[in-house]
Chain A
Amino acid sequence: GENVEQHPSTLSVQEGDSAVIKCTYSDSASNYFPWYKQELGKRPQLIIDIRSNVGEKKDQRIAVTLNKTAKHFSLHITETQPEDSAVYFCAASNTGTASKLTFGTGTRLQVTL
């Protein structure tokens, strides 16, 4: 089955700096890569996703890049703000498997003032 590795496990940045979280996946058949944000005490929520036919996608201050050859994808957050502090999970799925997502182990991002 699919295996997703995520690094780093914790990340501390100063407000206004950029943050990068990296994930690798093992199954070359995976073709959908969403990112979820979980604020303290709350449920995970989708913030951005990318399909395998796209190399990069942006939404305001967040972007995701995908390198299919190397089987890795990354989340980039620019101009970080305190409200970006949360746990971020990457995930991968093969759309032929009922949208079954395999998640990474999570990155706790702390944005300090």
Chain B
Amino acid sequence: DVKVTQSSRYLVKRTGEKVFLECVQDMDHENMFWYRQDPGLGLRLIYFSYDVKMKEKGDIPEGYSVSREKKERFSLILESASTNQTSMYLCASSSPGGGYAEAFFGQGTRLTVV
């Protein structure tokens, strides 16, 4: 059973703080993704990584960075949190699978920036 685990379910941070969201997967997947989920906007891709130390920008990378030092761990960093980054953040992983691979999601981190 694939497990994608996010470090926190709920998080409250202050404006200007540096925030780290951690994601760990146990299936040796090459691909890892960070999405944010907002009502009416669906799932929007922030960053993704297809290998250790590799990263690529998604559709909404502004204000975020990522780190992938180990294959199983993918971190999302909010350099200076702002209220418009209040959202649900979802991590996902998948194997290459020729591109037809199922994405497995974590349980989500609901971040509130006050």
- Chain A contacts to B: CB under 8 angstroms: 1, 6, 9, 31-32, 34, 36, 42-46, 49, 51, 89, 93-106
Contact = CB atoms under 8 A, between A and B. Distances in A.
Contacts of B101: 99
A99 B31 contact: yes
A104 B102 contact: no
Q: Is the interface of B mostly helix, strand, loop or mixed?
A: mixed
Nearest to B58: A100
Given A6-B42, A101-B45, A32 B105 contact: no
Interface residues of B, number: 29
Interface of B: 4, 31, 33, 35, 40-45, 48, 50, 56, 58-59, 90, 94, 96-103, 105-108
Given A99-B96, A105-B40, 19 more contacts: A6-B42, A32-B99, A36-B103, A43-B105, A43-B106, A43-B108, A45-B105, A46-B103, A95-B98, A95-B100, A97-B99, A98-B31, A98-B48, A98-B50, A98-B96, A100-B45, A102-B45, A102-B59, A103-B44
B109 to A, nearest CB: 11
Given A43-B106, A45-B105, A32 B100 contact: yes
B98 A100 contact: no
Q: Is the interface of A mostly helix, strand, loop or mixed?
A: loop
Given A6-B42, A105-B41, A99 B105 contact: no
A53 B108 CA distance: 33
Contacts of A89: 42-43
A39 to B, nearest CB: 12
